[in-house]
Amino acid sequence: MKLNKLNSSILIGLIAIIGILVAQLLWTKEAFSIEEKKFSQKTHVTLLEVAKKLYQGTNQELPGKNPVRKISNDYYIVNIDNDFEPEILEFYLISEFKKMNITTDFEYAMYNCQSDEMVYGNYISLSEKKQTKHSVHFPKHKNLVYYFAIRFPNETSYLFSSLRFWFVLSIALIVILLVYVYSIFTLLQQKKYSDLQRDFINNMTHEFKTPLSSILIASNYLIRQNPILQDEKLEKYTHIIIDQSNKLNQHIEKILTVAKSDNAPLVLNKNQLDILPILESVIENIKLKHPETKIEIKTNLAAVTIEADEFHFSNLVYNLLDNAIKYCENKPEISIAIAKVGKHLQFDFTDNGIGISSKNIPFIFDKFYRIPSQKSNEVTGFGLGLYYAKKVCDLHHWKITVKCNPEKGCTFSLLIPQN
């Protein structure tokens, strides 16, 4: 059902963007047509004014029939029925085009009735940019004796430049559409991988837990049998089987917890907690597993209280301490320093382990990430401890950071806001 809703949302969004894009392109096309008509009308009026100017000072009057004819989009002819000078024609053309705010370049030619050919006039550049002179063919027209022709070689680009905003908007919409399609494609790919990963984890943990439960039941039964209790080696091996089975069971439970938290957010049961007894309890549990470890709490605060979920906070501290012990080549020495920093309470977990290189620090809170090293190969784990710790901090709106110590090891810092 969720997938259907997602697909429907994606489809609606895609249709909406495509609809907007199509509408924008249609509007742009319509705007171009309107600009083209406006340009044609302005050119028509301008050439008519030029024809009137050419008739001034002569004994003839402007004929009743419109002398201006549009042959094609960028080509016009004007019938004068009177002799005129090229210099005067050019002057009138330039002045009238400027009056009408037509700034595109044009070329003109005149018909020479004596030679029966079009005589090329000139290429006039009204734009600021320098234009190259083109060789343009001006066709002859029958039944006309005195006339001139005008051609606009850059009319299309001139009209496009007046619609720059529309084209920029259309390009922006196309880019948005492409980004949307790419984002949706990436989202669907990520969802597919996430579903595969979740299914794999669920199947893997289920397949592991069934035989593991049988091993633990059998091992616990064996450890109570007299032949096993009487044989020191057999008892030792049975204890190893039980210990390792319990360790594997803990890893499986951790994977299941993380997998569940990805599908449904962890539910926090926040209470006002006295932190020092909780830290001491976690340290005691750690020392049962690693009795040689030295862990001390340093603080000058009489009482340390925070609002948090006790279960998840304990697990967070346990994971940080457990990691510090695992990645230590000598006798582990860990200090937990608690201090008031402004409106925050800061916890610094400092160890004497192998440390973390600066290039790996940005990735240590990623799910399943393990630093590639010989020590990582020796230590069992799935790369979920720090991922879980970061998730707990995010849910509590805390900040967790890590830095390398100057001499050895590293320091994980928790910054907890105080009300």
- Name the band, by pLDDT with cuts 50, 70 and 90, for residue 1: very low
pLDDT of 221 above 70 = yes
Instruction: Summarize the confidence of residues 385-408 as an average pLDDT.
Output: 87
Q: Is the pLDDT of residue 191 over 60?
A: yes
Helices marked H in 152-274 — which ranges?
155-162, 164-222, 226-230, 232-263
pLDDT of 378 > 60? The answer is: no
- The domain segmentation of the chain, as residue ranges, is 2-127+134-162, 165-263, 270-417
Q: What is the mean pLDDT of the chain?
A: 80
Judged by average pLDDT, the poorest of 56-60, 110-114, 349-353 is 56-60
pLDDT above 90 (res 267):
no
Express each pLDDT in 33-49 by its tens digit: 888 888 888 888 888 88
Q: How confident is the model at residue 348 (pLDDT cuts 50, 70, 90)?
A: very high
- Tell me the mean pLDDT in the region 206-211: 72
Predicted local distance difference test score (pLDDT) of residue 398:
92
Tokens of 86: 């090229």
CA gap 331, 389 in Å, rounded: 24
The pLDDT, as a whole number, for residue 415 is: 92
8 Å CB contact between 120 and 139: no
pLDDT more than 90, % of the chain: 5
In this structure, are strands 333-341 and 294-299 parallel, antiparallel, or unpaired?
Answer: parallel
* Confidence tier at 412 by pLDDT (50, 70, 90): very high
**CA atoms within a 13 Å half-sphere pointing along the CA-CB vector of 58:** 16
Q: Which CATH superfamily is domain 270-417 in?
A: Histidine kinase-like ATPase, C-terminal domain (3.30.565.10)
Give residue 259's pLDDT: 63
Report residue 67 CA to chain centroid gap: 60
Quick one: pLDDT band at residue 343, thresholds 50, 70, 90? confident
Taking a C-beta distance cutoff of 8 angstroms, is the pair 241, 225 a contact? no
pTM greater than 0.85 (yes/no) = no
User: 34 near 45, Cβ under 8 Å?
Assistant: no
Pairing status of strand 75-79 against strand 106-112: unpaired
pLDDT more than 70, % of the chain: 84
